[in-house]
Structures are given as structure tokens and as C-alpha cells.
Amino acid sequence: MAFSIVSVATPTFRQHPAQSRRERKAVDGDKGELGPGSGDLIMRFSTLIVFTSLLLAANGSSAAERSRFAETGSRSQYVHWIELYDANFNEIDPAAEHPAPYSPRKTCGRCHDYDTIACGYHFNARADDAAHGRPGEPWIWNDPRTATQLPLSYRGWAGTYDPRRLDISAWDFALKFGRHLPGGVEPAASSAPLAAAEGAPPEPATPGNWTRSGALEIDCMICHAAESGYSMEAWAHQIDEENFAWAPTAGLGIGSVTGAVADLDDDGAGEGPQVTYHDLKRNGEGKVFFNVVRQPRNDTCYYCHSNRTLGGPQAAWNHDEDIHLRAGMQCADCHRNGIGHHTVRGFAGEQHASGEAVVTLSCRGCHLGEEQGGRLGAPQPLHAGLPPLHLEKLSCTACHSGPLPGDQALPLQTALAHGLGLPSHDYTAELPPELVAPVFLRDGETLFPHRMMWPSFWGAQRGETIVPAHPEAVYDALRRTFRVRRGKTLKETLLEIRLGRDDKTELLGEERAGADEDEWTEEEQARVAAWVEKKALADFQEKLPEAFEALAEVVGPGEAKPVFVAGGKVYRLDSEGHVETFAHAAAEPYAWKLAHDVRPARASLGAGGCFDCHAEGAPIFAGKVATPSPVPSEESAVVAMQELAGYDKTKLDAWNQSFQGRAAFKWLGFASMGVVGFVLLSGAVWGFLTVTGVARRKD
Amino acid sequence: MAALPASQFALVATVGTSFRSILIYALSATVALIVVHWLARAAAPRAQRADRQPWTAWERLVYAGVLSAVGVLAASAFGAIGKGETMSGWPLMLHMVGAGVFTVALPALAVTWSAVHLRANRVANGARFSLLARAMFWALLLSGLAVMGTMLVSMLPWLGTHELEEMLDAHRFAGLAVVIVLLLHAYAVLTGRRR
């Protein structure tokens, strides 16, 4: 349980927090009895200074930190009547003519250790010395105009690209992904706790428009606002307007913001953002009431951590969501943190940054741990009849989490990748980037369900290495080649082919060539679609040399060779100028483990018996994963999950076959035991009779 | 992965480690016992060989079935245990094949040989099997019953994870008993003579 930390009026001498004013006064009175100016007082004061100095020297800086931030020590919620401060630490008068936007760093940071919080897991991606843990969902730079789907992460996860290495500045990153960031993207100078470690990628040369936009500070109220008062839409809108410093004010809804940094001229001329504070709830001291909750609500987490599977057997409204939430739990019950904001991720083997043991906040630790498990009343599963080997070979999530596996991994949309949570008319199944789930892959010998994406980007090949180019630079270079219209993807543009009369005649015959498209039969539609795809592919391949030529200016001169990565392969021009494709690690999919939604026990894999998995065609092994391509492609590679997981198909088939005779084997086994038992019993009876002499007398 | 204190996973590791030691010591002791006995027997004056009924083809087949099944079961299981691994993949499949043969061969052995092991003293020209062989025969049936029972019960949706772990542990020990008993039985049978 985290306790809130509040500032206290810094007393000269340490006071017991429960002391009443009268008690404190009495103590002061006692001191007064010594008499001002007395030698005894001087002696005592000198002794105190020496003692305090020694104490500070012994405790180092921790003593100083403790003196600045105090705790309530209570489980009750501290009521926040506070002053608002701007980024320059000036107290804001909301009624002033042009008040500044409030700064969470200066307002909340007066009492809460902002620098410590900034090292928490939601904010420390750029800290190279932080423990980043197992790979998670990347930020996907999605640009449909150039078919770019680029997995980015500052955390160094294999398969992702560090934005700094692609010349994507923190400012660019904030502008692109700030919609689903809780803040914490600031110019390097103001984010000292996240100073880059030695050997870390340097910040890009063009740092961005920080001086006008202000810092995108960590906005505490995104997670800690009570009720549903915080508007992430308003937050995202201000970021889109480049009004980073104004986003917390607009998001919390305590003020309206007009004007935009994005509308300013290069020389800064124009109407910049202005705040008008609303009727705030203020007390007699002029302090503002902030309705704060200590533990973030599920709804808050869902804004960034929502996902939805498309094409599944259940409509979204008919889905039960995670069983833990249905049981009344909160996300933060397991994914909890202290003031350090190192939010527990909850995977097995997690090493918490605080050094605190968090094993009982993982599935196994909570549900199977015998001594410390069972937190919050977690039931211990019986797993009746499930050979214990399964608990070594399968993660808990393999059977219990994510969409129930089917014949094929399903398309998936997430808040981070698709912007779920913001109102749009474009959340169609075709909305890029293309993600799929569940895909079962092994980590060591253990099988885990994953979400997966295939990177797609334009870049340069230097020797054996392929590095993406800055997506904006790519767009600038390629827009004349592909001429993608606003709101369209590159693939859609390439597939926009108008059939001429001759084409229709060739495809449909003379008689049907004049028929309206609405009158085409399904077979005719399929024939035309196949022709269009073929033509689009030819067009794409025809334009690729031109695109590579334009891209050469982006990737620079020298040995670098322009390439395009998509659909699990790499395109480039061979020495004769023809397009060729080849396999490369850069084209391989990036996958990250999924943990939610957890399904109830009766909906888990294996609840239906061994044949849920140990049968020919069982989805967990035989489910298909299609490689999507954001450009026309000759073929879409379809791979079985067992292949992706690295299983031996012969062994799996043999194993499945062995299960066909499992029921018969049980019957045979018990019959065999019956026979052996009968013989043993007979022998025992005979032996007993022999020993007691009964048999001999009978003879 | 951080250790789960006193959980069943820790139990598996503990039991697995201790069983490996027990396995090595028990098998070594059995082999040593056989070797010592064989040497002592070789040094002693040879007794007159008792006339015994020859084995029928069926008896040979049944006994060979049990020997080969237990051999396969032991090799597939003890190999993994010796390496400190959990049996899985091809070794586990081989183990299952061996188990199938054992399930058929053991009752056949029980039915075929129980009478002569019971009435050993009544056969003309003396017993067909020594006391050790007779004792090991009944021990084989008993441990065989245990080894089958522990696994068959585990295959039913009755027991939870912890109980299954304990059942697997019991299966290991019962399996070891089968191997030791069969080694002694085979030794007694093959060298069987009374002095």
C-alpha cells in the first residue's frame, strides 16, 4: 500500500505529527524556560548543531530527502487543497487576465518527489540504466502513406528501433505518441533523472520546438484524477496543437485553452495558446480543490491499455473482459507501485526496481504460491488431472489469457498502436498497423501467447545491417512517386485501378463487359479482384526503382543501399536494377507476450480435456498465422504456430496419435491392475493359509 | 525466475534432486550386491544342479516382454532424471510405449508364473525357483501394481497439481523398486540353483 507524501511546514526541530498546537506550544514554553541568551541554551544549541551534522553525515542525502517529503502514514485519502504553480514556480492567480497553464511538476512536485516518480516504469523508457524487463508492446510509427509500420522503443527490446538512432527527437516522439503518453517527455536539460547512460544513443540534432511548446511534463492527474473528470481527448488535442505545457490544464478541465503553438509563424508571430480558468472550487485561502485518488481507476488504465480482437467469435459488447475485473478487482491491485512508481508488471521472474519481492503479484505467485499466495482471496487452482509437466512447458497465460485460439490468429487493435480511446470514424478492420493475436511462441522451453506485428519501413542496408530511415523524411522523398491521397493508404492507392473497356472484355467477355459492377457475379468479382491485385503488384514493382532512387537521397551516399521491408521480406534493386526480395532479420516479426484478458477457468484451454491441445489441428499448435503485407504482394505467407514456436511436427503428430488410444489405455491399465491385484490377493490368501496351516490340514 | 518458497515447484526440484541420489545409490547397491553374491557363489564349491522343468516358449516370451518393457521404461526415465531434466518429448513417448507393453506383460507374467511361484515346493524334483526369485516375483507384482496405479490415477481428473506431484514422486519410487526387484529376480532366475 502506498502512502501519500505531503509537504509539511518545515519545523526547526522535528515534531511528532500527532502533536497538537497546544502540545507544541508547551514544548516551546519548556524551551523558553531555559531563558534566552543563557549559556546553557548556547551549549545545548551547539551540541545540537554538532549532533545534527554528524547525523546528516551518517545518513547522507536520505535525511535531506526525508526532510522535504513527509508521509501521512495513513490509508485515508489526503484531501488536496493546493495552490497552482506555473512552470516557473510562480503561483497562479486563476482570475488574472492571462494566467499561465499550471505545471504538474511545480504544483504536485511541491509535495511529491517528481524526480523519483519520473524514474517510474511509465516514464523511464529513455533511462538507459533502468531495468526495462521483458519486451512489451512497442510504439508503432504508422504512416499509411508510405506503408510504414515501424516498432519503436527506447527500452532496447530486440526487434524494436531506438528513436534516437533514427534521428527521431523526443519532441517528434511526444508529438506523435503523446496522445497515449502520461507525459514525461521533456527536453534533456529538464529531465535530469533520465540522463542518458554512457554509450546511449545521442539525442537527435534537431531537438524540436520545446521553447514554444513547453515540456510535456508527467501529468499526475491523468492517473490520479477522481471520477471520470480527466479528458484524454483534450490532452491529445493540445499535444496535436503542440501546446505541450497547456495539455494538463485542458485535460483536467480546469481551464480552456485557445490558440496553438502549431499555428505560430517561424518567428513566433501569431496568437499563441491562452488559458482561461473555469470556476474552480477554492477555499478561503484561495487554494484549489484537486479531487485526487491514490489508486488509479481501471478506466484510466484502459485508455492506454485497451485492445480489441477483430473477427472473433464474440462481438465486443458480448465479451466478458478480464475475469479479475469481473470479480471486482482493480488493475492496480496487482499492478501496484509505491512513490517510486515502479509499477509491477506481474510477469514471472520480475525483478522489481525497489528490491521488493513481487513474486506474489504474478499469476503463479498469487494462485499457486503456498505460503504467500492467495492474495486478495485468489483461488488455488486444482488443475485436476493435468500432469505437472504442463506447468513447466506452458505459461499460465497460454491456457488462460487472450482470445481463445482458433484456426487462425486474429487481427488486433490496441490503444497505443491504433489510438483506441480517441473518437474516430476510422476504426475499421483494415486500419493499420496490422497486428495479430494470439500467436504461441516459446521463450526457452515455455510456451507463451503473444501479440505480433511485422515491421514495414523504408531504410538503408549497410553491409548486413538494415536501418530504417526517418519516416517523415521517407514521406517527403516518396510522395511524388506514389501520390497517396489524404486518408488513403499506399496499398489502397495502388489498388485503385480503373478497368477500361478492353480490360473488362478480356476479363468478363464481350457480352458482360458492359454490365455495371453491381451486376457482377461473385465469380466475376473475384476474377476482377485478382486481376486488380496482379496489376497493383506490377505497378508497385514498376514504381519501386523510382522510389529507391528517391530514397537514396534520404539514406545518403556511399555503400548504403535503399531497401523496403514489408510482409516478412526485404525489397531492393539488384545490380541490374531489377527488384529482388530476400529474407533478413529486420523483416522478421516482433512479438510481445500478452497477459490479459484472463478468461475464466471454464473457458481456458484444457477445460475440455486433453484433446483441446493434443489432437490433430489443435489451434494452439496448428493455428495459422498469415503474414500481412501493407503493399501488394505475390503471396501471403501462412505459417503454423508450431513452426513459429519451433516444435517438431513429427513429434507433435506422434504425440497427438498417441492420445487417440489414451482412453483404451486407461481401461487396459485398470484391467491389468485388476488381474495383477487378483493374483497378488490369491497369493496372499494362499500364503496366509499356508502359514496358519489351514491349507496343509485341508490337504 | 524467482523461487517460489515452499511451493510445489520447489517441491519438484527438491524431490527430483533427492530422487536422483537415491536412484544412483540404490542401483549401485543392487549391482554391487549381485556382483558380490556372484563372486562368493563362484568361489564356493558347486552344488549339484537341481533338475528343473524347462521354460516354455510362452514363459520366455512373457518374461522377455517384462524385461524389455522395464528396460525401456528405466532407460527413458532414468536418462532424463540423471540429466536433471523433466522427461518430455521422444523419451516420454518411448516411456509411454514401454508402459503399454508393461501393462500387458505384467498381468501375463502374474498369471503364467504365479502358480509355480506359489507351489514351488510341491513340484517334482524340487522348486523351479529359488527363494530369492520367488520373493522378488511377488515384490515385482506388488511394485508393478504400484507403478501402474500411480500413473493411471494421475491420468484421471481426480487429483490436483500438488497431489499429482506426490503421485509422480510415488511413481518414481515404485518404478525404481520395479527395476531393482526385476534385476534381482533376473539374477536369481538366470543363476538359479539351490545348494
Decide if B12 is inside a domain. no
What's the rounded Cα separation, in Å, for the pair B177 and B26?
9
A545 near B CB under 8 A: no
* Same domain for A223 and A107: yes
* Same domain for A523 and A490: yes
Given this model, what pLDDT does residue B62 score? 92
Decide if B41 is inside a domain. no
Note the ipTM here.
Answer: 0.87
Cell of A526: 473475384
- Tell me the average pLDDT of chain A: 84
Given this model, what pLDDT does residue A161 score? 95
Q: Measured between CA atoms, how close is B46 to chain A, in angstroms?
A: 32
Decide if B23 is inside a domain. no
What digits encode the pLDDT tens for the residues B68-125?
999 999 999 988 888 877 888 889 899 999 999 999 999 999 998 887 777 644 544 4
Whether pLDDT at A651 is above 70: yes
| Cβ atoms of A74 and A2 closer than 8 Å | no
* Same domain for A106 and A240: yes
Mean pLDDT of A417-439: 90
Given this model, what pLDDT does residue B100 score? 92
> In this complex, do A680 and B138 lie within 8 Å of one another by their Cβ atoms?
yes
Decide if B89 is inside a domain. yes
Beta strands in A350-434 (DSSP E): 410-414
Decide if A116 is inside a domain. yes
DSSP B110-155: HHHHHHHHHSGGGSTTS-SS-HHHHHHHHHHHHHHHHHHHHHHHHT
Given this model, what pLDDT does residue A280 score? 87
* Residue A556 structural domain: 457-588
> In this complex, do B111 and A675 lie within 8 Å of one another by their Cβ atoms?
yes
State percent of chain B over pLDDT 70.
Answer: 79
* Same domain for A672 and A547: no
B175 near A CB under 8 A: no
Decide if A491 is inside a domain. yes
Domain count across chain B:
1
- Look up residue A604 and give its DSSP letter: S
Burial zone of B115 (CB within 10 Å; 0-12 exposed, 13-18 middle, 19+ buried):
middle
B93 near A CB under 8 A: yes
Residue A387's H or E segment, with its range, is: none
B192 near A CB under 8 A: no
Decide if A150 is inside a domain. no
Domain boundary residue among A588, A613, A634?
A588
Decide if B104 is inside a domain. yes
Given this model, what pLDDT does residue A11 score? 36
Whether pLDDT at A36 is above 80: no
φ, ψ dihedrals at B54, nearest 5°: -70, 155
What's the rounded Cα separation, in Å, for the pair A591 and A438?
10
CB atoms near residue A220 (< 10 Å): 23
Residue B34's H or E segment, with its range, is: helix B8-43
Mean pLDDT of A177-188: 89
What digits encode the pLDDT tens for the residues A615-626?
989 999 999 999
Amino acid identity for residue A30 in this structure = D
* Same domain for A120 and A254: yes
* Same domain for A483 and A339: no
| Cβ atoms of A431 and A146 closer than 8 Å | no
A686 near B CB under 8 A: yes
* Same domain for A54 and A14: yes
Q: How confident is the model at residue A593 (pLDDT cuts 50, 70, 90)?
A: very high
Decide if A538 is inside a domain. yes
* Same domain for A174 and A258: yes
Residue A145's H or E segment, with its range, is: none
B66 near A CB under 8 A: no
Decide if B150 is inside a domain. yes
Given this model, what pLDDT does residue B195 score? 41
Given this model, what pLDDT does residue B49 score? 58
Decide if A153 is inside a domain. no
Given this model, what pLDDT does residue A188 score? 66
Given this model, what pLDDT does residue A39 score? 43
Decide if B81 is inside a domain. yes
* Same domain for A206 and A99: yes
Decide if A623 is inside a domain. no
Mean pLDDT of B151-178: 90
For A398, residues 6+ apart whose C-beta sits below 8 A from its C-beta are: A440, A447, A448, A449, A605, A620
* Residue B171 structural domain: 56-190
Given this model, what pLDDT does residue A24 score? 58
Whether pLDDT at B161 is above 50: yes
Q: How confident is the model at residue A25 (pLDDT cuts 50, 70, 90)?
A: low
- Tell me the average pLDDT of chain B: 81
Given this model, what pLDDT does residue A698 score? 52
Domain count across chain A:
5
* Same domain for A566 and A520: yes
Domain boundary residue among A208, A242, A277?
A277
A570 or A32, greater pLDDT: A570
Given this model, what pLDDT does residue A526 score? 87
Decide if A650 is inside a domain. no
Interface test with A, best of B1, B4, B15 (most A CBs within 10 A): B4
Burial zone of A223 (CB within 10 Å; 0-12 exposed, 13-18 middle, 19+ buried):
buried
Whether pLDDT at A244 is above 90: yes
A266 near B CB under 8 A: no
* Same domain for A232 and A126: yes
What digits encode the pLDDT tens for the residues A42-59?
445 444 444 444 444 444
What digits encode the pLDDT tens for the residues B51-69?
566 778 888 899 999 999 9
Whether pLDDT at B5 is above 50: no
Decide if A466 is inside a domain. yes
Residues 361-380 in A contacting B (C-alpha not used; CB under 8 Å): 364-365, 368-373
> In this complex, do B107 and A679 lie within 8 Å of one another by their Cβ atoms?
yes
Q: Measured between CA atoms, how close is A391 to chain B, in angstroms?
A: 9
- Which residues does chain B have within 8 Å of residue A357's beta carbon, measured at their own beta carbons? 2
What's the rounded Cα separation, in Å, for the pair A21 and A366?
46
Whether pLDDT at A13 is above 80: no
Whether pLDDT at A370 is above 80: no
Decide if B49 is inside a domain. no
* Same domain for A543 and A469: yes
Whether pLDDT at A183 is above 60: yes
